[in-house]
A and B are shown apart, each in its own frame.
Chain A
Amino acid sequence: MFKIKSATLVICVLVFFLNLSLCDMAFAYIDPGAGSALFQLIIAGLAGLLWIVKVYWQKIISFFSRKKNGKKTPPQ
């Protein structure tokens, strides 16, 4: 489990730096929030992916826990 988590984090960091290098385009004006706005573009996919994985993982867990609980409870 720890290995999977670590691997995900390593991928996150690699994807981030790859994206950072690809986003080096020329624009017009210095904005204090420029880094944050561009950063959202970079991480949105990543954060979204993590969130989807989490949602489906919870669904799988709840499916099996329901099934398990269902076996324990005798039918009325």
Chain B
Amino acid sequence: MDQKKILIAPLSSSFRDPAGFVFKASQGIQRAVTHYGRAYYDVLMQSPLYEELVQKKWLVAHREVKNEDGNFYKILEPKQIPVITYPHEWSFSQFKDAALLTLKIQLRAMDLGLSLRDATPYNIQFVGTDPIHIDTLSFEKLINQPWKAYKQFCEMFLAPLALMSERSLNFNKYMAVDLNGMDLLLSSRLLPCLSWLNPIYLIHLHLHALSQKKYADSSHDTKNISMSPQRLKMLIHGLFDGVQSIRLRNHKTEWSHYYESQTHYGEDAHNFKADQIKRWILDIAPKQTLDLGGNDGKFSRIASELGSYTLCVDLDANCIERNYLSSKTNGDRNMLPVFLDLSKPSPQIGWSCTERDSFFNRVAPDLTMALALIHHLRISLSVPLDLIALFFSKIKGYLIIEFVPKDDPMVQKLLLTREDIFWDYSEENFKKCFGQYFRFVEQVQIPGTNRNLCLLQSNS
């Protein structure tokens, strides 16, 4: 019924739940609650749970705004999330914290006679290093039945976490391939044999997968299965303890201790670079900073500490993990580490290729930083300089970019194993290519090196 009356366009990701949808209003993102969704909204708002979760910063706060056309039960204006990230862009600990938050909310909801009716990581977002649940319509009255979201939780949280812990730190990148999470049978086969000895994996992944296989072709009406809330609560407690016990194995990568092990940079050069970046950031005062190839956030932190909401992007999951943990420990609320490979950044995916937006459609930085990155893009990824400039031109605002010339030891290292076919890679051509889209505001040479640090401003 409501669908016929809809005059406002739901976001392309918001179509599965008939209880409501989110849309873009002039004031920001808002949520419409349909008349079908009334029961779900009221059950939360009439319970003390909403106030408690908002106070704990576990659930996004909202206010009811004027419902002008009256087609909906309510229109809500939630507190805005600065940047939306997806589970395939999180580090292990971000993923784990999101899973634990979901279970903590479920346990508290059950205490108050409610239950989550879904458990997807897409309902969790990060504001800096704090995870928060963003779906106000995810709650329903607790009934004497199994948890509807159990399968979803295991496929979308537990299986990726197990595979990240046991197999590869960046296994969650496959979440971008299947938005419904990791198939349990596949996950069970991918996990090592010893994982059968771990009770959390044994019960909730291996045996759960066997159970799914057994009942896949059978005709069971599970709508009326009865299960007491007490038994369910113990199951969720067990799941919570299990998730909490999942640890990261020691994954060391090429980039994970880059700054500690660097030999190509003197301390003076390093400090000069940091001071120069700080001066520029103070002048620009960016609201949002995007640090591409930001490693463990050493230079991103300059921006975040100066009050800019900073996304530190890197392809090394270990660096993102370290950045997340250290920012969390230091209480850096402006730092959002993002796991992303610039050679294949998150594309538009899902239904009709529009359900989940591409990474670069979700960010709007005033300042982008690309420090000691350009030689990797040109030589390691073989992207010509004019295409690199074109890529950066799509991100508006200011750009701080470090040009690393061919005679630099790090470029020479890259060239050791390959023929130098990168004839366009020169400072002159760099200025020519970037000059098409940017104005060179200032450039300084980093002492003791031939590297140039440049501040550019987008022409458009």
Q: A29-B220, A35-B215 are in contact. Are A40 and B199 (CB under 8 A)?
A: no
Q: Which residues of B contact A35 (CB under 8 A)?
A: 151, 208, 211-216
Q: Which residues of B contact A46 (CB under 8 A)?
A: 203
Q: A12-B202, A51-B238 are in contact. Are A40 and B219 (CB under 8 A)?
A: no
Q: Is B241 part of the binding interface, using a Cβ–Cβ cutoff of 8 Å?
A: yes
Distance (whole angstroms) from the CB of A34 to the closest CB of chain B: 4
Q: Which residues of B contact A60 (CB under 8 A)?
A: none
Interface 1/0 per residue, A40-51 and B, CB below 8 Å? 111111111011
Across the interface, do A13 and B202 meet the contact criterion of CB distance under 8 Å? yes
B189-237 contacts to A, CB under 8 A, are 196-197, 199, 202-204, 207-208, 210-223, 225, 227, 231-232, 234-235, 237
> Which of A6, A28, A36, A50 is within 8 Å of B208, CB to CB?
A36
Q: A27-B219, A40-B150 are in contact. Are A47 and B212 (CB under 8 A)?
A: no
Distance (whole angstroms) from the CB of A27 to the closest CB of chain B: 4
A29 CA to B224 CA in the complex, in Å?
Answer: 12
Q: Is B10 part of the binding interface, using a Cβ–Cβ cutoff of 8 Å?
A: no
Interface centre among B154, B214, B227 (most CB of A within 10 A): B214
> Which of A25, A29, A30 is within 8 Å of B217, CB to CB?
A30
Q: Which residues of A contact B225 (CB under 8 A)?
A: 37-38, 41
- Interface size bracket, A side: 35 or more
Across the interface, do B202 and A9 meet the contact criterion of CB distance under 8 Å? yes
Q: Is A64 part of the binding interface, using a Cβ–Cβ cutoff of 8 Å?
A: no
Q: Is A39 part of the binding interface, using a Cβ–Cβ cutoff of 8 Å?
A: yes
Q: Is B298 part of the binding interface, using a Cβ–Cβ cutoff of 8 Å?
A: no
Q: Is B147 part of the binding interface, using a Cβ–Cβ cutoff of 8 Å?
A: yes
Q: Is B79 part of the binding interface, using a Cβ–Cβ cutoff of 8 Å?
A: no
Q: 16 additional contacts, CB 8 Å, given A31-B223, A38-B215, A40-B227?
A: A25-B220, A27-B221, A28-B220, A30-B218, A30-B220, A31-B221, A37-B146, A37-B151, A41-B146, A41-B227, A42-B211, A44-B146, A44-B234, A50-B238, A51-B234, A51-B237
Mind listing 27 A-B residue pairs with CB under 8 Å? A9-B196, A12-B203, A25-B220, A30-B217, A33-B148, A35-B151, A35-B214, A35-B215, A36-B146, A36-B151, A36-B154, A36-B211, A39-B211, A40-B227, A40-B232, A43-B204, A43-B235, A45-B231, A47-B234, A47-B238, A47-B239, A48-B235, A50-B238, A51-B234, A51-B238, A51-B241, A54-B241
